[in-house]
Structure 1
Amino acid sequence: MFAKTIRLPLQLLGIPVSLDLSFLIVLPLLAFLIGSQLPLYLRLLQIEASPDWLQGPMPYVLGLLAALGLFLSVLLHELGHALTARAYGVQTREITLWLLGGVAQLEQIPRTRGAEAVIAIAGPIVSLLLSGLFALLRGLAPPGATDGQFLLGYLSFINLSLALFNLLPALPLDGGRILRSLLALYRPYLEATRTAVAVSKVMAFALGLLGLLIGNLFMLLIAFFVFMAASAEGEQTVLSRTLEGLWVRDLMTREVSTVPPSLTVAELLEKMMLERHVGYPVVEEGRLLGLISLEDLHGASPQTRVLERMRPPLQVNQDTEALAALQRMAEQGFSRLLVTDEQGHLIGILSKTDLLRALQLRAAQMSLSDHPKNHIPGRA
């Protein structure tokens, strides 16, 4: 989801904070929209303002402050998720602010029954508390302080809206996670996820239809995001549950064909033709030096040495979880991982084919174990 992010030079209670590039686009756009609709917000919040106050740059300055306050509120919302997850022993990789708000990227979903619901509800609770706090501060502000009245009123309203919207029963919103967690109290987690994904897609369709009827493009964008994210959530859950308990050492190929760094491109191409491989680890005296593949040879002369064209390999330890290995492949765009020991010696290779084969076999095993004929009458 976040291909380009900017890591901020700050941490919230030890949690890194990043900005997706889409945030840099939506922030000024949101500031402009709030500023241009300022008279509407003033009527909604029942604030009296002189016509002069609505002229010049003032509306857009207030729009920018309101937009910054909104994203700060979103940041605190996500921090609520992260701190609650920490109470369950789950760390947060980072909090990312982006086009549609924020995401706290947890390392994993805790296995404690109902824990996902507790972590999910923490965010809306924070937003509701912020809404009440801003409403209280607005009541204490002087009636003549129009700018303060507007900012506090807007942030109270928007935090209430944020809490209610996130409670919609649609993944990846908090309400969808609460729904899945409650379903998982009575049925297998995969089945609970499938049901939550189905509900999410219905909700996305309803949001999209409503956005179409009222001509709200932002609601259409949210509906599209919910639909796509719910589908991705379902696929990720199937992956994690299917590869659960498998490690790199269980799936890697231990017999690996390698090439020395002194091999020429002409000799390497001949080897590729004979063995029908398009990539090789470059090894010298047992130590892994790099990786050479067919695409690395473009533009090279026949006498060029492999040492001059090889690139750094993507390495992994044999005690790495299979799911983590698959995620690294996806993030880095590699189709294979080279497995090394603590001394940097090559001990195996893990390809995407190995992982897909394991997925197919485990899925078949899980399907077989769930078949009605395999359940003994009278047993749970």
Structure 2
Amino acid sequence: MKNSLLIGRLAGIRIFLHWTFLLLLGFLVFAEVRRGSDSGAVLTSVGFVLALFACVVLHELGHSLMARRFGIGTRSITLLPIGGLATLERMPEKPRQELLVALAGPAVNVAIALVLYPFVAPLGAFEGIGLSHGTVGLGFLTALFWVNVMLVVFNAIPAFPMDGGRVLRALLAMRLGRPRATAIAAGLGKLIAVGFVFYGLFNAPFLVLIGIFVYFGAHTENVSVQHRELLRDYTAGHAMLTNYLTLAPTDTMQQAANTLLAGSDQDLLVLDPAGQAVGVLTRPLLMAALRDNRLTTPVQEVMSREFETVEIGDSLTTVYARALRQPNAFFPVLENQQLRGIIDQTNLTEFLTIRAALSH
């Protein structure tokens, strides 16, 4: 994730800290100092927040390790002020697998609470959350115990894309199918999100942020799943562009600019004399060369030699998932190592629009 700092790895998964998390810590320190707290109290509060987010990391790690059991990797876990985000390579499409992955996170918090319970229950753990007993004493452990309990309860809310919403979708998908189940779970998630926002406006502003996150998360997931359903029976060969502009490695930047003006392509594929794709000249690379007045520079000195390709028989749902991770997706389509076409974000969107129109 952009604007995030890599702070370590757990089980081979990169852990990132978003810069806004540092703002949270800064605000916490400022609030404690303004309240007149001494340095011990400030350190207690900061230490508690760090312990809380360590529990959040373990929660996300639970999701990730369960997903790994089903052959699904995790690109990263990112800590945000509103919680953690495990970025899986893909979501499980089998309902049982999604159910287990969704339950694995809260199960970690249940385990943490059970570990803490014997230490804090005999000492009055149920009198409330407080840090007045010291940094490593009863107050700290009691608060951490209750926070894990609340994480379980909060994540159980059936507001997609939270864990409870994913559990609901998995259960519904066993009978209704994934697209219909997603639509129902996302609709309920949006309704609950609106409730969060309205309640938060008058009582707890922090809920407004959570409500917005839940609303757009539910909307995005629903759109993604419905799109995948529309693409399910198609391959890259069905959606690829077959009329496109190309360049030779020895063409100049002036020729590349003229070629760009001759069509609507944003990126230009570079082919060697044998017709093999050897590079991509993106619009930003071309513009940078023109600004430097490199009109006579050969394309091969500017083009990017690192680009992804897809096979003509690849499932369009897989191509779509890859395109979502790349805002300016551009994939040469190959068949037996020979170029057959191009897929980019624009023609994928147009193909989806046509399929949606035909499905009604």
Q: Do they superpose with TM above 0.5?
A: yes
Tell me the equivalent position of 1:43: none
Structure 2 distance, partners of 1:101, 1:120, is: 16
**1:165, CA displacement in angstroms?**
0.8
Q: Deviation string for 1:263-315 (max 9, x for gaps)?
A: 23443444445556554212222343322355514323554433344344532
Structure 1 distance, partners of 2:258, 2:301, is: 18
Tell me the equivalent position of 1:11: 10
Structure 2 distance, partners of 1:241, 1:275, is: 32
**1:66, CA displacement in angstroms?**
0.4
Tell me the equivalent position of 1:243: 231
**1:71, CA displacement in angstroms?**
0.7
Aligned pair 1:337/2:350, yes or no?
A: no
Q: How does 1:86-101 map to 2 (within 5 A)?
A: 86-101=68-83
2:58 alignment partner, one of 76, 81, 100: 76
Structure 1 distance, partners of 2:75, 2:253, is: 42
**1:152, CA displacement in angstroms?**
0.6
CA contact (8 A) 2:109 2:151 kept: yes
Q: TM-score, normalised by structure 1?
A: 0.78
Tell me the equivalent position of 1:123: 105
**1:324, CA displacement in angstroms?**
4.2
Q: How does 1:297-308 map to 2 (within 5 A)?
A: 297=287, 298-299=290-291, 300=293, 302-308=295-301
Tell me the equivalent position of 1:322: 316
**1:76, CA displacement in angstroms?**
1.4
Q: Deviation string for 1:30-68 (max 9, x for gaps)?
A: 4665x5799xxxxxxxxxxxxxxx952001111111011
**Which segment drifts farther, 124-133 or 190-199?**
124-133
CA contact (8 A) 1:95 1:102 kept: yes
Structure 2 distance, partners of 1:212, 1:142, is: 34
CA contact (8 A) 2:161 2:186 kept: no
1:174 alignment partner, one of 159, 163, 179: 163
CA contact (8 A) 1:85 1:119 kept: yes
Tell me the equivalent position of 1:29: 27
Where structure 2 has 5 or more consecutive residues not aligned to the other structure, the ranges are 126-131
Question: Aligned with 2:342: secondary structure?
Answer: strand
Structure 2 distance, partners of 1:162, 1:31, is: 24
Question: Aligned with 2:341: secondary structure?
Answer: strand
Q: Deviation string for 1:203-228 (max 9, x for gaps)?
A: 111111211222x2211111111111
Relative to 1, partners in 2 of residues 1:113 and 1:129: Cα closer, same or farther, differing over 3 Å? same
Question: Aligned with 1:315: secondary structure?
Answer: coil
Tell me the equivalent position of 2:118: 136
**1:258, CA displacement in angstroms?**
2.0
Question: Aligned with 2:174: secondary structure?
Answer: coil
Aligned pair 1:292/2:288, yes or no?
A: no
Tell me the equivalent position of 2:342: 349
Tell me the equivalent position of 1:220: 208
Matched to 1:356, the amino acid is: T
Structure 1 distance, partners of 2:260, 2:93, is: 46
Matched to 1:25, the amino acid is: L
Structure 2 distance, partners of 1:270, 1:174, is: 52
**Which segment drifts farther, 296-305 or 198-207?**
296-305
Structure 2 distance, partners of 1:89, 1:335, is: 25
Matched to 1:336, the amino acid is: F
Relative to 1, partners in 2 of residues 1:294 and 1:177: Cα closer, same or farther, differing over 3 Å? closer
**1:357, CA displacement in angstroms?**
3.4
Question: Aligned with 2:104: secondary structure?
Answer: helix
**1:119, CA displacement in angstroms?**
2.2
Question: Aligned with 1:114: secondary structure?
Answer: helix
**1:174, CA displacement in angstroms?**
0.8
**1:173, CA displacement in angstroms?**
0.9
CA contact (8 A) 1:28 1:64 kept: no
Q: TM-score, normalised by structure 2?
A: 0.82
Tell me the equivalent position of 1:282: 270
Tell me the equivalent position of 1:110: 92
2:195 alignment partner, one of 190, 206, 214: 206
Larger Rg computed on CA atoms = 1
Structure 2 distance, partners of 1:91, 1:303, is: 45
**Which segment drifts farther, 116-125 or 187-196?**
116-125
Q: Deviation string for 1:64-84 (max 9, x for gaps)?
A: 110111011111111222233
Structure 1 distance, partners of 2:43, 2:336, is: 56
Q: Deviation string for 1:87-139 (max 9, x for gaps)?
A: 34433333222221112223333343333223212222221221232232235
Question: Aligned with 1:334: secondary structure?
Answer: coil
1:233 alignment partner, one of 221, 227, 251: 221
Relative to 1, partners in 2 of residues 1:186 and 1:158: Cα closer, same or farther, differing over 3 Å? same
Structure 1 distance, partners of 2:33, 2:314, is: 53
Structure 1 distance, partners of 2:56, 2:207, is: 18
